[in-house]
Amino acid sequence: MKTINQFIMPKTAKRNSKGNLELGGCDCLELAEKYGTPLYVMCKETLVDMAQSFKNAFEDYPNFQPTYASKALMTKKIAEILHSEGFGFDAVSGGEIYTMHKAGVDMSKVTFNGNNKTPDEIKFALEVGIGHFSVDNFSEIEDLADALKGSDKTQPIHLRITPGIECHTHEYIQTGHLDSKFGFDLSQTDSAVEEILKHKNLELKGLHAHIGSQIFETKVFEDEVEVLIKEIVRLNKKFNLNLNEINIGGGLGITYTEADTPPSVYEIAEIIKQAIDKNCKKYSIEKPKLFIEPGRSIVGTAGVTLYKAGSSKQVPNGKKYVALDGGMADNPRPSMYGAEYIAEVANNKVGEPLETVTLSGRYCESGDILIKNTELPKIQKGDILCIYNTGAYNYSMSSNYNRILKPAVVLVNQGQPAMIVSRQTYEQLLENDL
């Protein structure tokens, strides 16, 4: 069965009787008119469908904790929705922890990741009762032990390791290979465990790894499970421990363009479950508690960005540029990673002749191009453009470059739009200026 990550558009995307693009039962032109552009639009049905696919795919696994990687998109409403779907959360900063805490998330289902957690963040995470720390390096062992000194609390932790698996994705989003800023090299795990065992407030429960993002291969997850279980078995034996949790991170890819061919959640789940089965039989151990941390695949396809077309420019004997009213500050991925997207004109131009255009942003950087050489009906000033698959790593990576305001986020569901993050104002822009 196909899952949401294998489609370019949200599941509710269609043309309505006016020929306009509709999402979650809401006309995109009306959304643009009411909330302004650029506008992030999230389709609740698509988001929930994907979250439920993860739960269904692992339903028969005895001890499974889906954990949403909130770096992909974190707002109070998104936290509420995924919390009510039974998800835990992966946080990497005090700000993410604060947001989910305020949203009423069960903090015992939160894992605190990251390679340089500050002492204040560690203190705050302990205060709100974070479930697990994924300990990334030697200095964090000391910092965490220091923060717990004098208390009778025992903090569950995972050890983040770099399993030495390379996946074929963009270099900047590979994290599980050996020369990585994240986690312990396998040759360091013994020393890390020895260090942890010196501190009675730290309870090592298992291992964590994340091998990369936007992954289409399945074999890498099989290899990862094998490395994690083998290492758990070895550490249990060597240190007489009872580690029985593995966190395999996130990474499942989504379909930004037709060139992307990610597996479904069910395919990936089968590979992971079979690999666990095989390795547990091999070492005669119980199946460990399994954590998985999808981010992009949960929210990516559910989100689109609406832009208004502005100026255009025909380079003599060259490209035609159409400038949109957003760009690299609301979606830095094309300029950062060379990421590719699909756009559509949201107002009714269905059937009109196509021309090749490059969609540029409005920011003062020549690299501020959202989509190069795409075929679209002739765009006029004022047309509304929809760029698909912007739910993940767009709003969460947005900035105020050029002092341009961050867009609003609107959640659409069954014909009802609800603003879940308001558009920034000039007053807010100056709030911290002294």
Give whichever of 38 and 295 is closer to ligand PLP, judged by the CB atom: 295
* CA distance between the termini of the chain: 56
Give whichever of 26 and 167 is closer to ligand PLP, judged by the CB atom: 167
Phi, psi of 312 (to 5 degrees): -135, 160
In the bound complex, what is the minimum distance in angstroms from residue 392's beta carbon to ligand PLP?
6
In the bound complex, what is the minimum distance in angstroms from residue 312's beta carbon to ligand PLP?
34
CA 214 to chain centre: 10
204 in Cβ contact with 155 (< 8 Å): no
- The SS3 assignment for 211 reads coil
Q: How far apart are CA 357 and CA 60, in angstroms?
A: 48
Nearest residue to 74 via CA among 423, 398, 401, 424: 398
Q: How far apart are CA 112 and CA 41, in angstroms?
A: 28
Phi, psi of 330 (to 5 degrees): -95, -20
| Tokens at 148, concatenated | 């717990």
Q: Which residues sit at the interface with ligand PLP, rule CB under 6 A?
A: 69, 71-72, 90, 113, 175, 210, 213, 249-252, 293-297
DSSP-assigned beta bridge partners for residue 284: none
Give whichever of 10 and 294 is closer to ligand PLP, judged by the CB atom: 294
In the bound complex, what is the minimum distance in angstroms from residue 251's beta carbon to ligand PLP?
4
In the bound complex, what is the minimum distance in angstroms from residue 320's beta carbon to ligand PLP?
34
In the bound complex, what is the minimum distance in angstroms from residue 291's beta carbon to ligand PLP?
10
In the bound complex, what is the minimum distance in angstroms from residue 385's beta carbon to ligand PLP?
25
Instruction: For 57-83, give the DSSP string.
Output: HTTTSSSEEEEEEGGG---HHHHHHHH
Give whichever of 204 and 384 is closer to ligand PLP, judged by the CB atom: 204
Q: Which of 28, 167, 364, 386 is catalytic?
A: 364
182 in Cβ contact with 115 (< 8 Å): yes
Residue-wise burial string across 211-244, b where 16 or more C-beta atoms lie within 10 A, e elsewhere: bbbbbbbbebbbbbbbbbbebbbebeeeeebebe
Nearest residue to 309 via CA among 206, 209, 379, 377: 379
Q: Is 286 exposed, middle or buried (0-12, 13-18, 19+ CB in 10 A)?
A: exposed
In the bound complex, what is the minimum distance in angstroms from residue 208's beta carbon to ligand PLP?
7
Give whichever of 69 and 322 is closer to ligand PLP, judged by the CB atom: 69
Instruction: For 308-334, give the DSSP string.
Output: EEEEEEE-TTS-EEEEES--TTT--HH
Give whichever of 167 and 410 is closer to ligand PLP, judged by the CB atom: 167
Residue 308 amino acid letter: K
| Tokens at 349, concatenated | 């131009």
Q: Is 364 a catalytic residue?
A: yes
Give whichever of 71 and 308 is closer to ligand PLP, judged by the CB atom: 71
**Residues with catalytic annotation?**
364
